Structure 1
């Protein structure tokens, strides 16, 4: 990731918030010939201090399911919003240009695959519990139902314990206070949840800076 210091964060609570808000992540690997493979997958996340664990599964037929013991990149996409140069009070004298504000995290590590039935059953049980509760549903994987249990044969699981975590919050921190306030105000007027969330995070960052001075 192109990560300028002004936008970098080492606060793992930001990682917690990003994946809690959007646990549908992008997992990127490469074949032996260097061909990249990317899969969008729902992920289960756990953190104990600085130790992070990501778990998920693919269809067994997915070529990425054979990627065991090799490096992988997992991308968590956060909120984002377009920023017009016309919003900056100093747009003329500073020759400002448009940009995009966003939040993301890149997790690098060795991918560990697994396909034993007990581990897959446990993963499916935890996955259904996590995501059903988020939509008010009550479906649960039932391993005692032969029609459901047989479907375990069609998937393969993975674990990723990141050895490097990059968190980027690009929230106009490189702009003067007046520009940041102007962008917040204009984002709050947009008809977009992403714009509103970026405005909220920009305001939070401003307040944290004020508290530190």
Structure 2
């Protein structure tokens, strides 16, 4: 669960998938992640005009972590093993039941907590002020949800099926590339190799 905590903490923007009348609906939303023991809950909100707003019942939430292209040219055994390109990534799929809420105080608390979290990350000081009528009126335009995860699948695809020399070469290759995702995937690979004693 520590890997999920880390992934969700760094990437609190989910893809939320529901099905109504046989038709899938997808939204991309910021959420608050909370874990108490083995119980994981995601809390967020939709704008009322969103076609998914108000969906209840089964849902799938996806946390997308870092991802990076891996060139077969980086592998020391590229010729003898006939290596091909791949993609390394970290994702989490959380299946569970959605429940919705429209209570104004609960929505105000959610918007306040979301804004404090993200304003703090960018060093800003804007605050939702529930005592202000103009702020409180905005709550009429949203519907809150909670997803209680009953199945969690974490997928870390990090070349773990390759020899150590290949993984070390991929780490070096990714570290030479620009971009935060490349470096984050390299770090995850390095951590896994260290944990394995390599």
Matches of 2:11 and 2:189, distance apart in 1: 19
Secondary structure at the residue paired with 2:166?
helix
Matches of 1:145 and 1:192, distance apart in 2: 41
* Residue aligning to 1:80: 67
Q: Which has the higher strand share?
A: 2
Number of residues paired by the alignment? Answer: 198
Secondary structure at the residue paired with 1:195?
helix
* Residue aligning to 1:197: 184
Q: Does 1:159 align with 2:159?
A: no
CA positional deviation for 1:194: 0.7
Deviations 1:63-82 (CA, angstroms, capped at 9, x unpaired): 211211x1000000000110
- Unaligned ranges ≥5, structure 1: 1-11
Secondary structure at the residue paired with 1:206?
helix
- From 126, 132, 152, the equivalent of 1:139 is 126
Matches of 1:192 and 1:21, distance apart in 2: 16
CA positional deviation for 1:203: 0.9
Q: Does 1:49 align with 2:37?
A: yes
* Residue aligning to 2:53: 65
Matches of 2:62 and 2:178, distance apart in 1: 26
Deviations 1:131-165 (CA, angstroms, capped at 9, x unpaired): 11111111111111111111111000000110000
Secondary structure at the residue paired with 1:66?
coil
Matches of 1:206 and 1:15, distance apart in 2: 18
* Residue aligning to 2:12: 23
* Residue aligning to 1:148: 135
Deviations 1:168-206 (CA, angstroms, capped at 9, x unpaired): 110100001111111111111001111111111111111
RMSD across aligned positions (CA): 1.0
- Unaligned ranges ≥5, structure 2: none
Q: Does 1:14 align with 2:10?
A: no
TM-score by length of 1: 0.90
* Residue aligning to 1:3: none
Q: Which structure 1 residue ranges, 4+ long, deviate > 6 Å from structure 2?
A: none
* Residue aligning to 2:193: 206
Which shows bigger deviation, 103-112 or 128-137? 128-137
Secondary structure at the residue paired with 1:139?
coil
How do 1:179-194 residues align onto structure 2 when only pairs under 5 Å count?
179-194=166-181
